[in-house]
Amino acid sequence: MTTAKSDTISTRISKTLADRIISGAIEAGSRLRQDHVAEEFGASHVPVREAFRLLESQGLVVSEPRRGVRVAGFTREEVREVAEMRASLEALALRNAFPHMTKAILDTAEEANRAGDRAPDVYAWEEANRNFHRIILAPCGMPRLLKAIDDLQTASARFLFSGWRAEWEAPTDRDHRAILDALRTGQADMAAAVLARHVQTIGQKRPK
């Protein structure tokens, strides 16, 4: 949410646009015109083009050679694809994180989980949910994997905010607790299995 301090103009533009795409402020399929974006941000279009490339690598826009970029659409198929990739990669990350898991980490994760329970709206809930996943996966120490998961989580969030899912229901939190319990009792494979199933359910709710 908070774009933090990001030195270069391209990244600042990129993050702002990403927020808009994820929140649904810019709808899928609409064109992004570099001059207009540049003017809005008071910049030239060179950093805008680089921001577009950033967004492209996250799968938020698609770019055709001389025809500009447009916000990536997401069909039921694409949502399922992202969910399956997340399930696969998050399970992998969790199995690798397991040997480095400490009580402190699990406690922090539990706190993130509670923050989700207290969340007043879907945006706050999404942030807490994302934090929970990040906290339990980060100890794997595999940066490339974590980056990939992060991009997939962004795509998932986009889906979540799109209104396909009317309410963010409670079962997810139950899953989170089940994962923590499994980790606490040393059942790595069980935890990974629950996590994989948990992530996949995200792609199955409310087929529009």
Catalog residues that contact DNA under the rule CB under 7 A: 8-10, 31-36, 38, 42-47, 49-50, 63, 65-69
Residue 86-115 contact track with a copy of itself, rule CB under 8 A, x = bound: --xx-xx---x-------------------
Of a copy of itself, DNA, none, which one sits near residue 31, judging by CB under 5 to 8 A according to partner kind? DNA
Cβ 192 vs Cβ 76: under 8 Å: no
Tokens of 97: 């994180």
Beta bridge partners of 68: 64
- Residue 44 contact, options DNA, a copy of itself, none, Cβ 5-8 Å cut-off depending on partner type: DNA
Q: Does 70 bind a copy of itself (CB under 8 A)?
A: no
User: Where along the sequence are the contacts to a copy of itself (CB under 8 A)?
Assistant: 7-8, 46, 49-50, 53-54, 56-57, 59, 65-66, 77-78, 81-82, 84-85, 88-89, 91-92, 96, 141-145, 148
